[in-house]
Amino acid sequence: MTAFLEIKDLTVTFRVGSAIAARLKGDPVPDLVAVDDITFTVDRGESLGIVGESGCGKSTLARAITGLVPVTSGSISLDGGPLGKRRSKATRRRVQMVFQDPSSSLNPSMTVERTLAELLRVHKIVPRDRIDARCAELMDLVELPKSLLKARPRSLSGGQRQRVGIARALALEPDVLIADEAVAALDVSVQAPVLNLLNQLREELGLTVMFISHDLAVVRYVSDRVIVMYLGNAVEDRSTVDLFESPRHPYTRALMAAAPKFGVKKAPGESAIKGEPPSALDLPSGCRFRPRCPLAEEICEQVEPDLSGASETERTACHFPWEG
């Protein structure tokens, strides 16, 4: 298989504070590096999970791919064509997104039907006289009753809204669906059906899915492959089965140890991972995980480890990867 979605050396920085104030004081203009030189590919039909702590840049990565956030350097390409700063309507249509917060991701003044119909009309997905029928089909697809087409978001439950959000993304018949914490705001009891729906749609429609979450269990459930991000960069990129059976990067191991488990009591103060991640404004030298890493040695301070391994989808960025 050839690479379908290709992210190459992607960097996204944000200007923080006042550039003028910094220049006047003679300080360097502060830049926050949200995504730092990340490279990976996603195959057609693959489901890629991206995990990491809050603030690790996973949402920024998603927004850069959808074009919501300008790319500082590097490139994104889809099916050989570039996804640049200026995108045509037809290009935008190919990458769609499901948002985290179902309470703010739907226009409160539009009924579900208007939300869907607008997209179908603007993109001329179906002929005008088929729009109503297509809206009904989309509701079927996300397993919602057609009576909800006339409802506004305020009268829908969280799970229903998220399904409408999925229907909206699917209305444009995209190639790539990015789900940014798509179930994080839902009750646990509603998460599972929504995840099942996403899995099922992916199989039925042959979607390429990027699933972004801080929840390891969720990512494990929906992804074929997982990228673990830490402070804007990928530290491990492996198939889901391998990663969860034998995590290699100390950060991945720490994340898994930190995940709460049923019936397992932890002593107070016993934490798998030391401290808070350092500021993205002031990255440590060498390996960015070094200050918190239990295995850190001198080389970690001097040389930043490459994300490398046996194959493109079998990579770890660590000088001392754990071999299970």
Partner 1 sequence: MTDPTALPLDLSAADSQGPLDDRKFWQRLPVKVWVGLAIVLIYVLIAVFAPLLAPHDPLAIDPANKLASPTGDHLLGTDELGRDVLSRLLYAARVDLPIGFLGALMPMVLGTILGALAGFYGRWTDTLVMRTADVVQAFPAYILVIVLVFALGQGAKSILVAFTVLAWVVYARIIRGEVLRIRDLDYVHAARVAGLGRLRILRAHVLPNAINQTLIYLPSDIVFATLALAAFSFLGLGIPPPTPEWGAMIAEGQPFIRTNWWLATIPGLIIVVFGLGVSLIGEGFEERLHG
Q: Which residues bind partner 1 (CB under 8 A)?
A: 63, 66-68, 87-93, 95-97, 99-101, 104-110, 118-119, 122-123, 143-145, 147-148, 150-152, 154-157, 159-160, 163, 165, 168, 172, 189-190, 192-193, 196, 262
- Measuring CA to CA, which residue among 168, 174, 145 is closest to residue 157? 145
- Please, what is the minimum distance in Å from the beta carbon of residue 177 to partner 1? 11
Question: CB-wise, 262 or 275, nearer to partner 1?
Answer: 262
- Measuring CA to CA, which residue among 179, 213, 167 is closest to residue 63? 179
- Please, what is the minimum distance in Å from the beta carbon of residue 68 to partner 1? 6
In 3-state terms, what secondary structure has residue 19? Answer: helix
Return the biggest CA–CA distance within the chain.
68
In 3-state terms, what secondary structure has residue 173? Answer: coil
Sheet holding 31-43, edge to edge: 31-43, 3-15, 73-78, 81-82
Using CA atoms, how far apart are residues 82 and 95, in angstroms rounded to an integer? Answer: 12
Question: CB-wise, 28 or 260, nearer to partner 1?
Answer: 260
Question: CB-wise, 96 or 313, nearer to partner 1?
Answer: 96
Question: CB-wise, 189 or 311, nearer to partner 1?
Answer: 189
- Please, what is the minimum distance in Å from the beta carbon of residue 43 to partner 1? 22
Name the H helices within 36-84.
Answer: 58-66
Question: CB-wise, 8 or 152, nearer to partner 1?
Answer: 152
Using CA atoms, how far apart are residues 303 and 301, in angstroms rounded to an integer? Answer: 6
With contact defined as beta carbons under 8 Å apart, do 246 and 322 qualify? Answer: yes
- Please, what is the minimum distance in Å from the beta carbon of residue 148 to partner 1? 6
Using the Cα atoms of residue 286, residue 244, residue 211 and residue 159 in order, give the sign of their dihedral.
negative
- Please, what is the minimum distance in Å from the beta carbon of residue 114 to partner 1? 9
Q: Which residues pair with 13 in a beta bridge?
A: 33
Question: CB-wise, 8 or 123, nearer to partner 1?
Answer: 123
